[in-house]
């Protein structure tokens, strides 16, 4: 375990960041799952921009890799287009 003040502060900060990342990732995964389960086109079209925004936010903060985000957005958009 680290002893100096800066290392202890870093440990505290990492914990806060880790918990925030877990929350945002879980929220996004839940929203993606909800979008994939929708069968009505109007609901799907309404929810898609919100989900894409959540994915972009995770990619911007490097929580998810940019290619993963791009692949997710592409597949979700195709799925919504297929419903409509």
The tokens of 73 are what? 């957005």
Enumerate domains of the chain plus CATH numbers. Answer: 5-83 (1.20.58.110)
Host H or E run for residue 81: helix 66-83
> How high is the pLDDT of residue 27?
98
> How high is the pLDDT of residue 3?
80
Per-run averaged pLDDT (10 residues), the chain, 84 residues: 87 96 97 96 96 98 97 97 90
* Residue of 30, 27, 77, 22 lying closest to 52 (CA atoms): 77
In the 8-state DSSP scheme, what is residue 77? H
């Amino acid at each position: 375990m680290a002893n100096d003040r800066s290392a202890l502060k870093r440990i505290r900060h990492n914990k806060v960041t880790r918990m925030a990342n877990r929350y945002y990732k879980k929220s996004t995964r839940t929203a993606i799952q909800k979008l994939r389960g929708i069968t009505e086109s109007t609901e799907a079209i309404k929810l898609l921009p919100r989900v894409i925004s959540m994915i972009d936010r995770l990619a911007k903060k490097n929580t998810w890799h940019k290619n993963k985000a791009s692949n997710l957005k592409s597949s979700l958009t195709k799925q919504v287009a297929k419903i409509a």
